[in-house]
Every structure is written in structure tokens, then in C-alpha cells.
């Protein structure tokens, strides 16, 4: 798995697994930039079911509203940050 | 109408329990039966959580306005800075995001209703509503305007979606004309909404 640093361009995987996930649908497939690393956290996709959980690095990723909403963005240069687990990110 | 005040405050909840309500009762009763906890302890825990209010968060903001070194530590590691002020913030990992000229932060949790309740108390009902959760990421300027916060076009709005393990508090800008105020007087200007980003601090009188 790639280890990302602040400023790295990343893309949220466009992935639609069933079950409990904490990656909002509106960010899937979107490109952003790592804002900071937050360290390892238990994978909520396992924790939610009481399963032994692996740990995943968690990142804060910054997106522009233009990237998320395209032409429908209310103000294209406004930004949004969300926490995304490493297994949901790929280099962009 | 003279009898208007008899309008029922809310509908009676006579409908059957939901699955999760039944589960909560079952687990609670089992824990009590097995001696893991008791009703008094549960009531005290609920009471302690209900007693939390935006006051602690307001003190943190006022300290950051008054003490540049504290502000730097708050922005670097908000959990540690709050612990350092003696606040029990539970298991929460806290991030403080700073408003400054040209940048306004606002916090939402689209997936559920994550909120820094250990520091600023239980969330307002609207924070948990589907309208706030879905619209804040889609049209934050419109949402803020409905809260009475209209920002210049040139000001960047940055929305924080609390999707995972972090909780967020906004560090609002210190109002002008407050140079002479004590930390305590400054704390009185800090509203709950100004720490969510849907409001601005009060102006001094």
C-alpha cells in the first residue's frame, strides 16, 4: 500500500462494496490532496461487525467543490476536507 | 384562542419499539443482571453527558485568542491542548480549524452526527438532520446564509466532513474591539454555533 505525505495528489477509489463503510459516496472517484496524516486507526469496516480489525493509516484529504460537484458546484473554489482510510486511496 | 397553551408539546410515542430500541433495552438489562453496571451508574453517565455544554469549548477559544503559544498548540494537537486545560474530552481525537480573513470553516458529519460532544455538549437537533448533513457539503453558502452568516465571495469556505475518527471545533476569528477584554469576558462572546462554523462570535457590547 502506498504511504502518502501531505500535498500528495490522491484519488478516492470508485468502489462500492456492501456493508458499513465510512467513505461518503459523493467523494468516490474524486481527486484531492492529502492535507495531513492522522496515524493508524482500526478499520471501521471490520469494527462495525465486531470482527478483529486491521489498522489503516487515516488521512485528511482536501477536495475542491469543483472536483466534487463539477458544473453544479455552488462556488468552485470552495473546499472540503474529509477523513479517508488508506485502503480507499490510490495515487492520482 | 384562550386554550392555545394546551397544544400537545409532542406526539405520544405509542408506536412499537424499533429493533435498536429493543436491543438497547435488552443489552442494558443484561449488563445490570450480570452486575457489570447498575441503573444508578447509567443515570449518572447520562446526567454527566447532558451536563456538558459549549462552555468548555468557549474557554478553549478564549484562551487561544489571548495566548498565542496556546493557540499554536491547539492548532497542532487540539486533544492535548484541551487536556492541558484540564478538560476531560474522553476518547475524542480533536482537530481545531482556524477561521482567518479569507477562510471560513464549517463542520458537518454527513454519515451520521459525529460531534465534539465531550467539549461542547450534545449537538443541536438540526446538526443531525438530513437537510443539514446533505446540504452543507453541497451548498454551504446557502446553508450559512440561512444561519445569518453571509460571507464575501472571495472568502473560501472549507467544509469539514467528520467521516471517521476525528472531531472538529472551529476556532472563530476574535471580534474587533476586544483588546481590553479578559479571557472570561472573551469566552462569553463564543457561541456554540461559532464553534461549529454556522455562526460568528457575539460582538462586544
Tell me, what's the pLDDT at B176? Answer: 95
Q: Is residue A4, in this structure, part of any structural domain at all?
A: no
Is the pLDDT at B2 greater than 80? The verdict is no
Taking an 8 Å cut-off on Cβ atoms, the answer to whether A79 and B166 are in contact is no
Taking an 8 Å cut-off on Cβ atoms, the answer to whether B141 and A23 are in contact is no
Outline where chain B has alpha helix (H).
19-33, 39-51, 54-66, 68-76, 78-84, 117-120, 130-138, 140-146, 183-187, 192-196
What does the pLDDT look like over A12-65, one tens digit per residue?
A: 999 999 999 999 999 999 999 999 999 899 999 999 999 999 999 999 999 999
- What ipTM goes with this model? 0.96
B140/chain A closest Cα distance in angstroms:
8
A29/chain B closest Cα distance in angstroms:
16
Contact A77, B152 (CB under 8 A): no
The answer for B 161-190 residues in CB contact with A (under 8 A) is 161-166
Q: Candidates 1.10.10.60, 1.25.40.340, 1.25.40.20, 3.90.330.10; correct CATH number of B55-196? A: 3.90.330.10
What does the pLDDT look like over B111-165, one tens digit per residue?
A: 988 999 999 999 999 999 999 999 999 999 999 999 999 999 999 999 999 998 9
Q: Look up the domain containing A34 and give its range.
A: 9-91
Contact B172, B96 (CB under 8 A): no
A68 in contact with B at a CB cutoff of 8 Å? yes
B137 in contact with A at a CB cutoff of 8 Å? yes
Cell of A16: 462500492
A44/chain B closest Cα distance in angstroms:
8
Contact B107, B196 (CB under 8 A): yes
A38 in contact with B at a CB cutoff of 8 Å? yes
Which are the contacts of B16, defined by CB distance < 8 A and separation ≥ 6?
none
Segment among A38-47, A64-73, B182-191 with least mean pLDDT = A38-47
What does the pLDDT look like over B76-113, one tens digit per residue?
A: 999 999 999 999 888 889 999 999 999 999 999 999 88
Q: How many domains does chain A have?
A: 1
Amino acid at each position: 500500500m502506498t504511504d502518502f505525505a501531505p500535498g500528495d495528489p490522491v484519488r478516492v477509489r470508485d468502489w462500492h462494496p456492501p456493508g458499513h463503510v465510512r467513505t461518503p459516496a459523493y467523494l468516490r472517484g474524486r481527486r484531492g490532496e492529502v492535507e495531513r496524516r492522522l496515524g493508524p486507526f482500526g478499520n471501521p469496516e471490520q469494527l462495525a461487525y465486531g470482527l478483529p480489525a486491521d489498522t489503516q493509516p487515516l488521512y485528511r484529504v482536501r477536495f475542491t467543490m469543483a472536483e466534487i460537484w463539477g458544473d453544479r458546484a455552488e462556488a468552485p473554489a470552495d473546499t472540503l476536507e474529509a477523513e479517508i482510510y488508506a485502503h480507499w486511496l490510490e495515487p492520482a | 384562542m384562550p386554550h392555545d397553551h394546551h397544544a400537545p408539546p409532542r406526539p405520544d410515542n405509542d408506536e412499537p419499539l424499533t429493533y435498536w430500541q429493543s436491543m438497547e433495552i435488552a443489552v442494558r438489562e443484561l449488563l445490570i443482571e450480570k452486575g457489570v453496571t447498575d441503573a444508578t451508574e447509567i443515570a449518572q453517565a447520562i446526567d454527566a453527558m447532558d451536563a456538558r455544554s459549549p462552555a468548555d469549548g468557549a474557554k478553549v477559544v478564549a484562551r487561544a485568542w489571548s495566548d498565542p503559544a496556546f493557540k499554536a498548540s491547539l492548532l497542532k494537537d487540539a486533544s492535548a491542548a484541551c487536556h492541558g486545560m484540564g478538560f476531560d474530552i474522553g476518547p475524542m481525537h480533536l482537530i481545531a480549524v482556524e477561521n482567518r480573513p479569507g477562510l471560513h470553516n464549517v463542520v458537518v458529519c454527513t454519515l451520521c452526527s459525529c460531534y465534539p460532544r465531550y467539549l461542547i455538549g450534545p449537538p443541536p437537533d438540526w446538526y443531525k438532520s438530513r437537510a443539514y448533513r446533505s446540504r452543507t457539503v453541497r451548498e454551504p453558502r446557502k446553508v450559512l446564509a440561512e444561519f445569518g452568516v453571509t460571507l464575501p465571495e472571495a472568502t473560501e469556505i472549507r467544509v469539514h466532513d467528520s467521516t471517521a475518527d476525528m472531531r472538529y471545533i472551529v476556532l472563530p476569528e476574535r471580534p474587533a474591539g476586544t483588546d481590553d477584554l479578559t479571557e472570561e469576558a472573551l469566552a462569553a462572546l463564543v457561541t456554540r454555533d461559532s464553534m461549529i462554523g454556522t455562526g460568528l462570535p457575539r460582538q462586544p457590547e
